[in-house]
Amino acid sequence: MAETTEAKSKTKSAPATDDVFAARLARHHDEFESLFRMLYGDSPELAVFERAMADAYAARPADLKKLDIEREKDPEWYKRGDMFGMTMYTDLFAGDLKKLAGKIDYLKEQKLTYLHLMPLLKMPHPDNDGGYAIEDFDTVDPLLGSNEDLAALTKKLRKAGISLCLDFVMNHTASSHRWAKAAEAGDPEYQDYYFCYDDRTIPDQYDAVVPQVFPNTAPGNFSWNEKMGKWVMTQFYPFQWDLNYRNPKVFTAMMTSVMHLANLGVEVFRLDAVPYIWKQFGTNCRNLPQVHTIVRMMRMMLEIVCPAVVLKGEVVMAPKELAAYFGTPERPECHMLYNVSIMVNLWAALASGDVRLLKRQADKLNALPDNCWFVNYLRCHDDIGWGLDEDEEVRLAIDPLKHKEFLYHFYEGTVPGSWAMGELYNYDEASKDARSCGTAASLCGVEKALITHDKPAYEKAIDRDLLLHRAMAFLRGFPMLNCGDEIGQLNGWDYKEDPDRVADSRNLHRSKFDWKKAAERNTPGTLQNRLWEGMESLREMRDDPCFGPDAWVTTWDTHDDAILGVLRKEGERTIVGLFNFTNADTYAVLDSTADVTLPERVDLKPYEAKIIVAHE
């Protein structure tokens, strides 16, 4: 391997390692080498990678090594019932990393244990897809601060009991990344970091079988680069070049960046678009076996170098594809996944007043092995993509296309009787596909009720908002709020006045945090106070032993398609959550079993959530 490799160590020989590192390496070495050889044959890059791991371990700060040892003794720390998360953009919340560090008291006030910051590594401006086009995987964007600022922030967060999560954008780099610039200048070594072709022969064959990610806003899977005189694979946007993980130098360089960020104090990595990372000619380039090989190797790398760190996969795929991303108990991959399917089904149930699809989805996820864990949420930086279980819809005599059209038009606010205010994202005339944008409060009806001065509608909107959050927080996994939802922040329509943001309707729910509104969280009766106290009730609810990592969780028949019933059992204690998804008084009829004795009837008000203690 040439000394010019991207992942080369500062020294040619591996540093001396202690017994802890040696033992971890020995535990995984044979499997790691076998998987590496499976992908890359006899490439000498394996030795380069092993040296990079030794370098990263040697450079790891002492306090993080101490955390590693603590978490090796408590490997399921992220499954505890007190886990409570939030996701946010650094600049929208505070301005930069230094200022965010000064806002930690606000996070502690909410008893957060997990903070997910949207991409903050060096990016081009303005075209960066919300930070998901990265120029340098090792360096914080200067507009947000420095690596030193990031390390200082993570240290303060750890002291406050908060683990920092960052996105790791595995699938692509910005077109302005130094590798892409070298490829563009004609360097064949760096052209092999991507997928570059002289003519349309191979791209056309890819396009014949590979679905488009953004058929309306970024059609096709390839872009022509005039400077290079080649077609380059760009599955997302033209300024995001797909990486070629068939090249072992790419794997080594990217994993070295992961270890570097872990040494700055990042404790959780959200693997962005991980199903897409391996491209195989003649396939749809989704969920291929090699993807799992790479994630498994990544998991072993972390367990060798920095076992305090966990992986969270972003897998926006059908439910049947999810279990594979956890691996097996013997050969684990991701520690947890975003619970995209439950998020979508919660919003669908609210619009339709029908929980059958939601219940069926929860049943499928609850049936997964114990090593499968989820981060539950209602809103995040992204849109709501209406990927419901079409086979189940057909079984329930629901037309999948008509249902999808109803949902995105409902949350756009154009369906008669809709309370929501939102916008469509990526509407495709040919397929009639579209996604939805908006904050939780605006989609639940708060914004419309305030505009129309409709007090009863306003009360119902708050009830809907709290119902969804309570149902989300009761399900298997741990809850994560979208920053601003704890104070009922509304849509940011001013994005339409910004030429750099107007083309992306997701900016509707990516607006600056309103600190003036947040100041009203302690004023009784305000929207901010009512939602703030509602989120506090979620944390109080989850203090129950039935939210422990070993609790049994299952749905329970309520004999009413408008009411979701979920039972949690830990030891002798059993609790049941009942959630009425309609604007009507109703009641649940609960069946008891030999092991679980429940009240026969429980009355529920419109949009009410009720928690019942069945056994002490």
Catalytic residue among 96, 129, 314, 333: 314
User: Is 222 inside a domain boundary?
Assistant: yes
The residue range of the domain holding 235 is 172-242
Q: Which residues pair with 347 in a beta bridge?
A: none
Q: Tell me which H or E stretch contains 365.
A: helix 356-366
Give the closest residue to 517 by CA, choosing from 505, 497, 538, 532.
532
Which residue type is seen at 387? G
Whether the CA torsion 481, 484, 490, 493 is positive or negative: it is: negative
Structure tokens, 23? 């033992």
Q: What is the CATH number of the domain that holds 189?
A: 3.90.400.10
Q: What is the CATH number of the domain that holds 556?
A: 2.60.40.1180
**pLDDT (0 to 100) of residue 309:** 98
Q: What is the pLDDT of residues 51-91, one digit of tens each?
A: 999 999 999 999 999 999 999 999 999 999 999 999 999 99
**pLDDT (0 to 100) of residue 12:** 44
**pLDDT (0 to 100) of residue 218:** 85
The CA–CA distances, whole Å, from 420 to 345, 386, 423 equal: 16, 16, 10
Q: How far apart are CA 90 and CA 305, in angstroms?
A: 28
**pLDDT score of 8 more than 80:** no
User: Is 407 inside a domain boundary?
Assistant: no
Mean residue pLDDT across the chain: 94
Residue 363's Cα: distance from chain center in Å?
21
**Rounded average pLDDT over 419-439:** 94
**pLDDT score of 470 more than 90:** yes
**pLDDT score of 7 more than 70:** no
User: Is 298 inside a domain boundary?
Assistant: no
Q: How far apart are CA 469 and CA 609, in angstroms?
A: 10
Which residue type is seen at 359? K
Q: Give 13's pLDDT tier (boundaries 50, 70, 90).
A: very low
Q: Would the pTM of this model clear 0.85, i.e. be above it?
A: yes
Count how many domains the chain has. Answer: 2
Task: Kindly state the percentage of the chain with pLDDT values over 90.
Answer: 89
Q: Give 371's pLDDT tier (boundaries 50, 70, 90).
A: confident
Where does 388-517 show beta strands of DSSP type E? 423-428, 433-437, 478-482
Q: What is the pLDDT of residues 128-155, one digit of tens each?
A: 998 999 999 999 999 999 999 999 999 9
**Rounded average pLDDT over 510-528:** 97
> Which residue, 242, 269, 296, sits at the end of a domain?
242
**pLDDT score of 479 more than 70:** yes
Q: Is 314 a catalytic residue?
A: yes
**pLDDT (0 to 100) of residue 595:** 86
Q: Give 11's pLDDT tier (boundaries 50, 70, 90).
A: very low
> Which residue, 193, 211, 242, sits at the end of a domain?
242
Q: What is the DSSP letter of 609?
A: E
Buried b / exposed e over 111-150, threshold 16 CB at 10 Å, is: ebbbbbbbbbbbbbeebbbbbbbbbbbeebbeebbeeebb
**pLDDT (0 to 100) of residue 149:** 98
**pLDDT (0 to 100) of residue 18:** 87
Q: What is the pLDDT of residues 171-201, one digit of tens each?
A: 999 999 999 999 999 999 999 999 999 999 9
**Rounded average pLDDT over 149-175:** 98
> Which residue, 242, 273, 298, sits at the end of a domain?
242
Mean pLDDT is lowest, of 1-15, 115-129, 503-517, for: 1-15
Contact 469, 509 (CB under 8 A): no
**Rounded average pLDDT over 580-594:** 96
Indicate the pairing of strand 121-122 with strand 172-174.
unpaired
Catalytic residue among 184, 272, 433, 465: 272
User: Is 126 inside a domain boundary?
Assistant: no
Structure tokens, 593? 């079993």
User: Is 539 inside a domain boundary?
Assistant: no
User: Is 466 inside a domain boundary?
Assistant: no
Give the closest residue to 318 by CA, choosing from 405, 390, 221, 222.
390
**pLDDT score of 15 more than 60:** no
The CA–CA distances, whole Å, from 561 to 174, 357, 531, 564, 587 equal: 47, 10, 27, 8, 11
Residue the block writes with tokens 């349309």: 200
User: Is 356 inside a domain boundary?
Assistant: no
Q: Is 272 a catalytic residue?
A: yes
**pLDDT (0 to 100) of residue 616:** 61
Mean pLDDT is lowest, of 144-153, 248-257, 381-390, 463-472, for: 381-390
Contact 316, 340 (CB under 8 A): yes
User: Is 341 inside a domain boundary?
Assistant: no
Q: What is the pLDDT of residues 527-562, one digit of tens each?
A: 999 999 999 999 999 999 999 999 999 999 999 999
